[in-house]
Amino acid sequence: MDETTSVEEAAVEDSPVARELDRDGFGASAAGEEVVLDVRDLRTHFTTRWGTVKAVDGVSYNVRRGETLGVVGESGSGKSVTALSLMRLVPSPPGQIVGGEVILNGRDLLKLSEKEMTKVRGGEISMILQDPMSALNPVFSVRNQVGEAIQIHQGLRGRDLWDKIVDSLRKVRIPAPAVRAKDYPHQLSGGMRQRVVGAIGISSKPAVIIADEPTTSLDVTIQAAYLRLLRQIQREEGVGIIFITHDFGIVAKMCDRVAVMYAGRVVEMADVRTIFNNPLHEYTKALITSVPKLEEKTGRLPQIEGQPPLLYNLPPGDAFAPRSPLPHTDKDLQIRPELVEVEPDHWVQLAHSSVADFHKYAHLVSYGDEYKDEIAAAKARDKS
Ligand SMILES: Nc1ncnc2c1ncn2[C@@H]1O[C@H](COP(=O)(O)OP(=O)(O)OP(=O)(O)O)[C@@H](O)[C@H]1O
Ligand SMILES: [Mg+2]
């Protein structure tokens, strides 16, 4: 086998399968109906000298088989700490998961022993890093690193282990996998290294993969290759992906549904079309209008007006109220808004100060009565 990796890669990217997968940019959706991961009212706090930081303050979202759930929100909104909590990898101290449920394949991960969790981690749920250099150890061969994951989770040895290593590499379309398995990371191109990381990620047949985009931007072509790889893995393995990003352009291309996070909570969750065409929460609207053009590569989330709140000093109620274009009173800062399903599959954190159509859905929440007068006024306005 010769070493012209770039030629091999070009052949892979140009294959009919790769082209087939790439119809809508990063490949067609493989979403199913069955919920594989259900996160309910998750709470993770950090104890700091300024007080308790409620980094994750009652997050609920779910992931279906074969779908990509995008998680968006400004820096510090709790996207990564939520992901780490699912894996039970929050540094403790200072962090602690203080409440909620993480139901994966029918059981609550928060109730497992550390020993049981070690099997689940990197097994049923795993994380793929975008930067392959920080994910691979330069002193071990590909065979070693892919093999380690398989050994831990499936206990294979000898010939069976070797076959499984080669099979995992073949699945992520590494050419001549039996030859490549003996290489060390530095002998591979960037794209091939990413595929190896992908092979490690899927070798244990996970139900869910978490992809947390690093804030530092990578080379655009490496990033595109990474997104294509994720989609390909998803289609073939039926795995659900949690895709954490700042980039709304990528959300539009990659994701089936989107969860928008603000101050440690989900404020809106819906399919990607609804999020872009019919957002109900003022924070979602602000995020979307602050993206100049979806197609532009530079569609990163610019700052929206006002400061993100300090998480150790959150009001119990609507944390977005002070930045919302809608008026607010003390009442809005005191009443904790519920995340409710206002239309099938469209969830909104229903706060009077952040949802202009609050009066249409107020009957869905217990604190609707508190806003009787405001609701009557809004309905009168609608009629005239
Ligand atoms: N070890 C820690 N100790 C104290 N606070 C922490 C710790 N780790 C995270 N936090 C706080 O938790 C909050 C949520 O952080 P998180 O990393 O989840 O944000 P994020 O949404 O992923 O942001 P980004 O988009 O910048 O990655 C932040 O306010 C952060 O300061
Ligand atoms: Mg993060």
What's the gap in Å between 76 CA and the centre of ligand 1? 5
In terms of residue numbers, what domain contains 333? 315-384
Q: Please tell me whether residues 227 and 369 are part of one structural domain.
A: no
pLDDT (tens digit per residue) in 201-211: 888 888 999 98
Pair 212, 80: CB distance under 8 Å: yes
Q: Please tell me whether residues 88 and 232 are part of one structural domain.
A: yes
CB atoms closer than 10 angstroms to residue 66: 21
Residue whose CB lies within 8 A of the most ligand 1 atoms, among 43, 47, 53, 59, for a mutation test: 53
Q: Please tell me whether residues 112 and 229 are part of one structural domain.
A: yes
What's the gap in Å between 46 CA and the centre of ligand 1? 10
81 compared with 33, residue with greater pLDDT = 81
| pLDDT for res 21 | 35
Q: How many domains does the chain have?
A: 2
Q: Please tell me whether residues 227 and 295 are part of one structural domain.
A: yes
Q: Please tell me whether residues 373 and 245 are part of one structural domain.
A: no
| pLDDT for res 309 | 75
The ligand 1 atom at the shortest distance from the C-alpha of residue 73 is 21
Q: Please tell me whether residues 380 and 364 are part of one structural domain.
A: yes
Burial class (CB in 10 A: 0-12, 13-18, 19+), 337: buried
What CATH number should be reported for the domain holding residue 282?
A: 3.40.50.300
Pair 335, 367: CB distance under 8 Å: yes
Please enumerate in sequence order all residues whose Cβ is within 8 A of that of 287, keeping only pairs 6 or more positions apart, or say none. 72, 73, 248, 260, 301, 304
**Exposure of 183 in the CB half-sphere (CA atoms within 13 A):** 22
What's the gap in Å between 79 CA and the centre of ligand 2? 6
Last residue of some domain: 266, 291, 307? Answer: 307
CB atoms closer than 10 angstroms to residue 228: 20
Q: Please tell me whether residues 348 and 217 are part of one structural domain.
A: no
pLDDT (tens digit per residue) in 120-130: 987 899 888 76
- Give the whole-angstrom CA distance, residue 184 versus residue 170: 17
Q: Please tell me whether residues 212 and 302 are part of one structural domain.
A: yes
Pairing of strands 257-262, 68-72: parallel
Last residue of some domain: 245, 279, 307? Answer: 307
Q: What is the pTM of this model?
A: 0.86
Burial class (CB in 10 A: 0-12, 13-18, 19+), 107: middle
Last residue of some domain: 265, 288, 307? Answer: 307
Q: How confident is the model at residue 3 (pLDDT cuts 50, 70, 90)?
A: very low
Burial class (CB in 10 A: 0-12, 13-18, 19+), 252: buried
pLDDT (tens digit per residue) in 147-196: 988 888 788 899 999 999 999 999 888 999 999 999 999 999 888 888 89
pLDDT (tens digit per residue) in 238-285: 899 999 987 787 888 889 999 999 999 999 999 999 999 999 999 999
Classify residue 81: in a domain, yes or no: yes
| Ligand 1 neighbours (beta carbon < 6 A) | 46, 48, 53, 55, 73, 75-81, 91, 94-95, 215, 246, 311
